[in-house]
Structure formats: structure tokens, C-alpha cells
Amino acid sequence: MPLALDLDSYARESERFVSEMDREYYLHFAGHKEEFEIEEIYERHAGLFDREVVERLRERVSSNGGEETRRARYLLELAVGGLLGRETKREETELAEREAALELEVGGERLPYRQSAVTQANEADPERRSAIEEARLDVLESELNPLHLRALERAHELARELGWSSYREMYGDLKQIDLAALERQTSAFLEATAGAYEATLEPHLRSQVGFGLDELRRSDLPYFFRARGFDDFFPQERLIEALEGTLGGLGIVLDEQQNVRLDTEQRPLKSPRAFCAPVHVPGEVYLVIPRHGGRDDYAALFHEAGHTEHYAHVNAALPFEFRHLGDNSVTEGFAFLFEHLTEDPAWLQAMLGVTGSEEYAGYARASKLLFLRRYAAKMSYELELHGGRPLSEMPDLYASLLGDAVAVDWPARTWLSDVDPGYYVANYLRAWAFETRLRNLLRERFGDEWFTQPEAGDLLREIWSEGQRLDADELLAQVTGERIDFAVMLEEI
């Protein structure tokens, strides 16, 4: 590798790498091809993730400041993530292959491992839900956790080899997020909502699951989130029409967006969940549409549509780092903005003709509170997990933090699989706070039916065009003059 790093040519090759990875992801998970061949892609671009390169980029980041430094910082996060990915790709590939091949045995019936979560969420019998979960946890512990653990230990080691004191310090640095300060905010949220949690949740548990917190097991939660009782509000045949109508209200004609490729065809290997694959931003963005209806498919499709429209509207003249990299709290914020429409009474009435959705709004608030408390506890846990304490203490710590936050017995065995790499938990938490502020602004300026106002679309398009050049704090300061503070989530509950 040359000693002087040319940022422009490094960025160009990074873009080719990211694009090839996203295309492979799209082809595999949309069911166009069975194989998931990322190893070759890493090989083709091995020079990107050289340690030497990481060093050079770090020097750039610590130099003068300004746009150059910002670009180098975004590229550095990609380079470190790529280096970690390359060094643990054997474990990751084996995890994916085992997960795809494993089967559970539940009451004499065989169930594919990956399918089991969907089956559990749709299972009305609590005993069978519990049996499915137990069988899955057994397999997780014996077949997958050893691989998860090896990958985690390798990642921790690499962080130290690269000169950081811990994985936690490394990601705090790379993301420029004060993780400890964020954790203080989320802990304060846990404390502030502890008193109201049970009373908020109880009536909705009783109506969706059939019993309250005293009998609730962790294995009942997917069924609670699935909430089949509300399926009538969300018919399958109106899924795409509802999306087109919503975008149309904002002045976006989905049909005419040449750069947005809708994947609606049914294929046997296609993922049952919606997803967005930004293969080239903004020129080639895929939105993969699911097969079913029901509240969770609507929520998932709108979430992914938020990503899609964000990427599709980025100014093509920006450098790759600002079009595609940067603070993912921003793109997750737009994803949540669209996702939350599907629980907004004004939207339900306008797009799906649903009236009397107060109970649904109450349910949505309760499940959001549960979700936020779970993620707040995950934030505290992940600070410890990646902070240098002995890993042997982690399963118990994980079970007690999550169990206290959600008020059910929480299994320790998911202490590794429940963790997204690179502190993505912080991106989600920041995105929720960012989105709440942004939604408040849209309501204030354009009314409760802001999603029917082309001017609201103009504002969003203007913000989207910047990509992720600014991080969520800077963007929020620019748009509303506020700071990201998780305390704003208290207003939502």
C-alpha cells in the first residue's frame, strides 16, 4: 500500500466493494440465487482493509479537521468494519450455513431453525410457543454460541491490536458517539418509566396474549408483537397501494422513480421480510416487498421504504462517503418515520379507512415502551460486554439487565446472538429520538396529516439530498435547532 493514501481513489474502490456486497445481499435474500458469496468480494478488495490503511486513515482523522477529516472518519469506520468482517468471515459463514441447515424438534415435529421464530410468533398455544423457544435456545447454545463467542473474542482482540484499549473505546471513537452519555440517558429513561410500565402493558397483554405480566414468559413476546387481533386493519392486498398512496401524498410517484427497483415477485427462497438494498446510491436502490399482510409486514415495509426513499433522493454529486456512509442514526430515523405512520390514527384513517383505532394506538404505545426498555437495557449491557470485563460474567449480567427492564425471566443463552456488531444499538436509540423530534416538526408545520402535504415531501427531499454527510445531532440542530436527547421518548409513552 502506498504511504500517502489517496482519499479519492480509496473512496472509489470502497464504493465498488460496498456495492458488490449489497448486490450479493440483494440477490441472495430476494431469492435470485442460493449461494451467498461474500468471500470472493473480500478477496477482490483485500487491499481496502489492510492494517496499514487503517493506520493511514487514523492519521487523516486526527489531522486538521474540516470536510477531509469527516470523509476520512467515515472511510475509517468502513475500513475497520471490513477488517473485522474479513478476520471473522469464517465464523460468520459457518454461522449462516448452520443456521440455514439446522432443524428443531418440537413435539415430534421438525421445524427449520430460521423459520421457528415466525412459527412461534403465529402460535396461539403458549405451551407450544415455550417448547419452540426452548428447543431453539438449546440449539443456539450447543451449535451456534461457540461460533458467536469465537467471533466476538477475535473482534475484541483486533480492537486492542489496532491500538484501542477496548472494542467499546474503538467504536466510541469511530462513530464519534459518547456511548456513556447515551447510556446515562437510556438508564434515566428506564428509571422514569419503571412505575408506569406494568400498568401500560397489562391491558394490552390481556387482550392480545390472553393473560398478564404475572404469567407472561419471554416466549410469549413474539406473539404479543405479532398482534394478530389487529390483522383486519392491515389487509395484504392493500399493502403496496398504501405505500404508493403515502408517497404520492408527499409528491413522490413510486412508479416513476427509475432508481427505485421494486421486487414484488414471489420466489421460493425469498426472505419473508421486507428489506432495502442500496446497491448504488442514489442510482440503484432495491425495495424488496414481502408476501403477507398484518401489522408487522406493514411496519416492516414502511420501515424499509423510509430507507429506500432516503437513499433514492441523495444528491448524486456528493462523494461516496456522504451518499452511503456516515451516521446510520440518520437513515434509521427516516425508516422509523415511515414505520410509525402505520400506527398513527390519522394515517390509518386516511390510507386504510380504519376508524376507532384508539385501542390500536394504545397497543402500539405499550409495545413501543416494551421495545424501548429492552433496547435501553441492551445499551447498558453492551457497554459492559465490550468494555473489557471478563466475558464469563456476561450471560448472567445480560439476563438480569434485560429481565429487570422487561419484567419477565430472560434467558441468558441469547447473550451473544442478541448483539448487533459495532454498537448499532446506539444508532437505533439515537434514531428513535431523532425521529420523534422530526415527526413533531412535521406535525407542527403541516398538521396531523403531514403525509398528505407535498410541502412536507419537499422538506424531506431537501434533507434526504444531503445523505449522511451530517450526523443525526448536526442534522437535527440544522432542521429543528434541537439536540438529540433520549428523554424526548418520555413524551411518546
Residues engaged in binding Zn ion (CB under 5 A)? 332, 335
C-alpha span between 89 and 91 (Å, rounded): 5
Q: Is the dihedral of CA 170, 174, 176, 181 positive or negative?
A: negative
Number of residues assigned to the chain: 493
CA–chain centroid gap for 148, Å, is: 19
Nearer Cβ to Zn ion, position 220 or 327?
Answer: 327
Nearer Cβ to Zn ion, position 10 or 432?
Answer: 432
Nearer Cβ to Zn ion, position 252 or 335?
Answer: 335
From residue 174, give the alpha-carbon distance in Å to each of 18, 28, 152, 169: 18, 30, 18, 9
Q: Measured from the CB of residue 306, what is the shortest distance to Zn ion in angstroms?
A: 8
Q: Measured from the CB of residue 195, what is the shortest distance to Zn ion in angstroms?
A: 31
Whether residue 212 contacts residue 202, with contact meaning beta carbons closer than 8 Å, is answered with yes
Whether residue 362 contacts residue 373, with contact meaning beta carbons closer than 8 Å, is answered with no
C-alpha span between 71 and 110 (Å, rounded): 50
Nearer Cβ to Zn ion, position 295 or 303?
Answer: 303
Q: Measured from the CB of residue 277, what is the shortest distance to Zn ion in angstroms?
A: 12
Q: Measured from the CB of residue 430, what is the shortest distance to Zn ion in angstroms?
A: 13
For residue 11 the three cell numbers come to 473512496
Which residues sit opposite 189 in a β-bridge?
Answer: none
- List Cβ neighbours of 184 (8 Å cut-off, separation of 6 or more): none
CA–chain centroid gap for 220, Å, is: 22
Q: Measured from the CB of residue 191, what is the shortest distance to Zn ion in angstroms?
A: 28
Nearer Cβ to Zn ion, position 133 or 471?
Answer: 471
Q: Measured from the CB of residue 301, what is the shortest distance to Zn ion in angstroms?
A: 12
Give which of 249, 271, 281 is closest to 460, Cα–Cα.
249
Nearer Cβ to Zn ion, position 15 or 332?
Answer: 332
Q: Measured from the CB of residue 87, what is the shortest distance to Zn ion in angstroms?
A: 26
C-alpha span between 460 and 480 (Å, rounded): 13
| Chain position whose Cβ is nearest to Zn ion | 335
Q: Measured from the CB of residue 435, what is the shortest distance to Zn ion in angstroms?
A: 11
C-alpha span between 451 and 443 (Å, rounded): 9
Nearer Cβ to Zn ion, position 289 or 350?
Answer: 289
Q: Measured from the CB of residue 44, what is the shortest distance to Zn ion in angstroms?
A: 27
397, burial (CB in 10 Å: exposed 0-12, middle 13-18, buried 19+) = middle
What is 43-83 written as a DSSP string? HHTGGGG-HHHHHHHHHHHHSS-SHHHHHHHHHHHHHHHHH
C-alpha span between 104 and 203 (Å, rounded): 33
Q: Measured from the CB of residue 73, what is the shortest distance to Zn ion in angstroms?
A: 22
Q: Measured from the CB of residue 335, what is the shortest distance to Zn ion in angstroms?
A: 4
Nearer Cβ to Zn ion, position 410 or 423?
Answer: 423
Q: Measured from the CB of residue 330, what is the shortest distance to Zn ion in angstroms?
A: 11
Which residues sit opposite 275 in a β-bridge?
Answer: 288
143 DSSP assignment: I
Nearer Cβ to Zn ion, position 201 or 325?
Answer: 325
C-alpha span between 247 and 310 (Å, rounded): 12
Nearer Cβ to Zn ion, position 276 or 370?
Answer: 276
Nearer Cβ to Zn ion, position 305 or 335?
Answer: 335
C-alpha span between 154 and 33 (Å, rounded): 30
Nearer Cβ to Zn ion, position 42 or 371?
Answer: 371
What is 232-257 written as a DSSP string? GGS-GGGHHHHHHHHHHHTT--GGG-
C-alpha span between 123 and 155 (Å, rounded): 37
Nearer Cβ to Zn ion, position 113 or 275?
Answer: 275
C-alpha span between 12 and 430 (Å, rounded): 29
Rounded to a whole number, what is the largest CA-CA distance in the chain?
A: 66
Whether residue 11 contacts residue 321, with contact meaning beta carbons closer than 8 Å, is answered with yes
Which residues sit opposite 110 in a β-bridge?
Answer: 105
